[in-house]
Structures are given as C-alpha cells and as structure tokens.
Chains A and B, each alone.
Chain A
Amino acid sequence: MIDFLVPVITMTALGLFFSVGLVFAYKKLKVEEDPRVEKLTEILPQSNCGACGYSGCRAYAQAVVTGEAPTNLCSAGGNEVAQQIAGIMGVEAEQVARKVARLHCRGTKEAAHSRGVYVGISTCEASHLIGGHKQCAYGCLGFGDCVHSCPFDAITMGEDGLPVVMEEKCTACGNCVEACPRNLLELHPVSQGIMVFCRSKDSAPTSRKVCKNACIACGICSRACPEAIVLEENLAVIKDYKKIPEEKIPAIEKCPTDAIGRIQKENEG
C-alpha cells in the first residue's frame, strides 16, 4: 500500500512545486510589451525583406514604437502601410516615394559579345570574380543573382539574357541592388521615364567592339539637354531627370547605340 503511494505523492508534490514556480515567473518576470508592436507587425507585409534596414518586420515595428524609426521606411508596403502605421502611432503620415529597380544595361546575348566558353559556377558573383564571361567588363552577366535575391518574385530572366523587373510587383526593397556584383540595378522613382542603359566606362572604340548597345560618350544626348545630362568617364549620366523636358526627349533618343531613352513599359511583366 505504501509502495503505491510514494510515487503519487512525489509526483503531486513536484507538480505543485513547478506550477507555483511557473505562476511566480509569469507574474514577476513578465516582459511588458507595447501592444502596438503586435498590431504594427500584423500590418507590415511579413516579407522580412530588410529594405527598412531592420532585420525583419517585427524588428522594424519595435523600432517604430520606440520612436527610433520613422513610419515611412517600409517600401514593400508603400503609402498604404505607412498611413496605417501613422494611424496607430497617432502621427502625421509621411509620404513614401514609390520606387522601382531598373537595370542599367542593354547588353543582351545578341548585343554583347562573349569572351569564350564559360566553364564554372553559374552565378554572376562567381563569373565576376574572374573578370566575367562577357567582353564588356561592366555589363550584365545574366546568371540572375538578382532574380534569386528578389523576395517578391518581381524579377524574371528574359529570353535575351537580361533580367526583367516587373514594375507592379517591385517594392524597391533593394535586395537586387545588393546582389548585383556589377552594380547595374538602381532604385529609381517610378515617375522617372528616361534613363541611361549602360554603365561602361570603357573608351568608345572598346565599348563599340564589345557591345552594340554600349554608351560611346558621343555627346548627342548631353548636347541636346546639357542642364540634365553630363558625360563622366566615357559615360552619359542623367544628373536630374526632372530637368529633362518632354520636347527634348526625341533629340536625346537619337542615341546611335540606344544606350539612352525612354523606359518601355509595355515590355514589362
């Protein structure tokens, strides 16, 4: 009879002891969390893309609540989310300028010549490490490191060997900008309708030899609109797209290599 009671009593005593401990821990060691963190986390897109500069949506929510971060850093959520965050925080909503990633290269499989047969790891980073498999030392390598880096599936590899960014899916998180070993992707305001599709700093004869669509710094565009376009290191650079008036665009688009021009929206998506 006694033998049977010993384990029962022991287990009951242990159970009581630990439950008291748990109750004590729950009451005394409780971490007070601002209920707004939970709410904000729910509103945020949960993609944990890191575009805001924090390690994830929850970390950003905590930073907003402590007042460390402004309410408009979530580019994936855009204006809508920024307004909701501002609503919860009880502050004025700050505008999020919608941006989109654009590729500064038109060196398609056809236009840009290859150096030879590439045998090695099929990523842009690995190819860039040994100088790249294209003759142009600045152009897109086409293995799609950007495609793999996009958490929103907004980039696909086109048939011409260049990545295509879908404007409506792109949230400007900037992961692709980081992933490109040649720095060819850049975040532009959606309203920017014209850009230079080249980053080659090679001299004109070299550029011409290695790629049909390379900027050869002939200066047609910068002469057409000197207040917004300048030549820097054998390359045309748009300093301020807002200063390019609509009527000057046809003159700029006379570019002999199509290295500058309007962004063709119908090609996207």
Chain B
Amino acid sequence: MNTKTFPHGIHPPEYKEETAEKKLQHLSPPDKVFIPLSQHFGRPADPLVKKGDPVDLGQKIGKAPALFSAAVHSSVSGKVLKVGSTHHPSGKPLLAITIKNDGEDRLSSEVKEVEDPFSLSPDRIRERVKEAGIVGLGGAAFPTAVKLAPPKDKPIDTILINGCECEPVLTSDYRMMMEYSDDILQGAELIRKATGAEKIIVGIEDNKKKALSLFQEKTKGHPSTSVALLKTKYPQGAEKNLIYALLRREVPRGGLPFDVGVVVQNVGTTKVVYDGVKHGVPLYQRSLTVAGSGIGDPQNLMVRLGTPFQKVIDFCGGLKEDGPIVVMGGPMMGISQWTLDVPVIKGTSGILAWKLDSPPEETACIRCGRCISHCPMRLAPTQIKKYVEFEHLSEAEEWGVLDCVECGCCQYICPSKIPLVHWMRLGKAKVSNLKRKKKSE
C-alpha cells in the first residue's frame, strides 16, 4: 500500500505514545454543568428552558435558529439553575444554561430509537442528525446536517472518513477508531446514504498502524468502502488537504468540498451520527484527550458536555506544577485558557497543559520564506501580515487572507517567532468587517 499525502505542511513531534493505548474512560457527570448555547460554527442556539425548569438527559434545551447553527441538549438530568453568561473557551463570556445534576440520568422521552436506520430516507437521516445537534467533532464544530445536504447541482461521489488526527498529542480519535470501529463504519454508511455517494474512503495516517489493520479487516469484501494509508504530516486532517491527498482534487478558492463532489467527516462525528440516527441519542458527550507534561495522569475520556475543565483535570491527577498553560484542542490550533471554570463544549478535542518557560520573543522578519514554503494553502503569510498591519485590506484579501485555515504551520516554522496566525485572524476579522460595512451601505 503506497502512502499518500499533500504538498507543504510540517512534521512536529507527535508525543502520542503517552495516551495512545489508554482506553476511553467515562468521566462521571459533575454536580453542575454549564452548557453554552454557542458550541458550534454559526449562530448560537435559542434557549428553550428557563430558571427552575426540570430537564432530562438528552432533552433539547436550545433550538437552532438558522441553517448554520445546531441544537443543544442537556447532558444530565436535573434542574435549570440559571440562563446567563458564563466563561466560554473562546475567551469571551457567552450565554449558557447552568443545570444542577440530580444524579439520576433519567433519559428524556424525546430520545427515540429506530429499528433499522438504513431503511430511513435521506431526508429523515438529515433530520435526525439535525435534531441530535451533531457538529463536526474534529474541532471546527461545523453543523453536520449542513454537510449532509449537498446542493442539487453538486452531486457527491465520495465520502472521506477522516481518521488522520494530525494534531500532535491528541489520541482520542484513535481510541474511537479502536473501540467503536463498527459504529463508525455504520455511521459512514448512513452518511453515504444521506448524500447519495458511491464510495467511502477511510483515511488513516501511518502512525496509527493498528487502527489501519483493524479497519482493513472490517472492510474486507465490502464493495464500497476502502481504507487508505496516509503519510503522517500536519495538517492532513484539514479537509481540503485530505481531499487532495486521497483524491488529488483541489477545492476551489472560497469553495467547499461539495464543489469537488466530496463530503469529509471526522471519525468521532461518524460515530455520533450513528448514535443519533439509530438510537436517537443527541450529542451530549464527547471523547477527548487530557495530556501534556503539566497533567498528573494523562487519559482519554468520554466527558459530558458542560463539565468544567477543573473537574476533568482533577480526574486526571490535577495539574503538576504551578502556572502551566492550559489549552483547549491540540497544541497547534488549540486556544489557551485563563481559567479552569470553562466548560467542555462540542469542539473540545483535548485539554492539554504544559509549562511554558518563557514566552517566545518576537523579532523582525528575516524574509527566509519558510512560512511560504510550508503553508498548506499555498499562501504568503509574511506578505499578508504586512498588508494587514498597514491596513491594505483589499490586497490582503487578494492575497488570500480569507483562505487561511489557521493551522499554525507558518508560526511554528517562523524563526522570528512572529504571531502570524494572530495576524491572519486579525486580517480575517478586518476584511469581513469591511465587507459587511460595504454591504450595508
């Protein structure tokens, strides 16, 4: 089997050995959960409950107000204590529903199983995915129901199941593949049915050989499903890179995988799609890796959404030393946290902690061009940074600031330690503000 990959990208150290063979453990739900109404890409959900209301496990407590949004469900049974703003991993306080757990885990009557999920029509599958509040669990939290509804003029031929887990340190997707391979394949089949695609390809990087042989065995003799081996490289799991690596198709600028007839789903998402469609179980828990040199006892966990980071870290032996930085997500794209009161949300693929000896000191750009030769989107980060800095926003847009996927390769490789991702994000915000202003005029 020859290994496939995409051009550019980087090879950071992996640090996956620590947790790779640790099975997913269920963390018991805490006394209180804080469930933000905004845990996904798009508009926040509208609250459906108020203070004092009793709620059951899996009950819908937030309704999606638009297509680009997702429903939110209770992750415990108990009583609503508050609907108000609380800490959020994004750094800004946002509206959340605080629920006191009564410890009974009473399943909501809204959760209804179907006998044979494969007999459902594509519309019913999409509807059940939407009702279950499922979003992409790779980290970007894009509403899955939207991905399953390709426009009529863009037929889908291939489903890619993303088992890359290219972020260093994280191993929860690997655990999902090892422990829930049947559910993942069933979920993939449901997605194939919903989109009308012909083929399913599961892409797995060559640092996860065990998962690869497991999936090869499970898909043996299967007519439409195949497994592909990928050369370990970051950011292979970014969907545009994965599509290029496996199919040699290039998603056009500003386009979506639909445009080249592909839908990409993370392995974790595929599993919850199966749970949601078959069992009617909404997305109220997720798998995540707790690791890093600052964590006492690194683990892979299944955590209820809304559990504060503090509880999760306490379960994993607490923080080792004083003052380590805590990051939500992987080390490359994660968001650093200032308080451990933030809750686990749908996009929390990991909680990492390590000691930072001294913050990196920025020096002037030496024009070495390494950011350009490593950018997987083939942008020129150093040039875009200059345009953003001096408010040349139309040039920044022309040079592709909006195409940046914020993978962090440029900043990782930069010898001058320039916060290039921050510049890209600032540039995106400025360009979109300007566009919005122009539109309203």
Give the interface of A toward B (CB within 8 A).
115-117, 119-121, 123, 125-126, 129-132, 135, 137, 202-203
Contacts and interface: CB of A to CB of B under 8 A. Distances in A.
Interface string B396-433: 00000000000000000000000100110110010000
B90 A126 contact: no
Contacts of B335: 130
Nearest to A115: B338
A126 B325 contact: no
5 contacts: A116-B336, A119-B359, A129-B425, A137-B92, A203-B84
B255 interface: no
Contacts of B92: 131, 137
Contact of B423 (A116, A121, A203): A121
Given A119-B419, A137-B92, 10 more contacts: A115-B339, A116-B325, A116-B336, A117-B356, A129-B422, A130-B91, A130-B335, A202-B85, A202-B93, A203-B84
Nearest to A126: B426
Contacts of A121: 419, 422-423, 426
Tell me what chain A mostly uses at the interface: helix, strand, loop, or mixed: loop
Size category, B interface: 20 to 34
Interface in B294-331: 325
A200 B91 CA distance: 16
Contacts of B356: 117
A131 B426 contact: no
A50 to B, nearest CB: 15
Contact of B426 (A115, A129, A135, A203): A129
A123 B336 CA distance: 19
Contact of B338 (A116, A129, A202): A116
A131 B90 contact: yes
A132 B91 contact: yes
B338 A125 contact: no
B423 A119 contact: no
B360 interface: yes
Contacts of B338: 115-116, 135
A137 B359 contact: no
Contacts of B91: 130-132
B426 A119 contact: no
B363 to A, nearest CB: 14
A220 B356 CA distance: 45
A78 B335 CA distance: 48
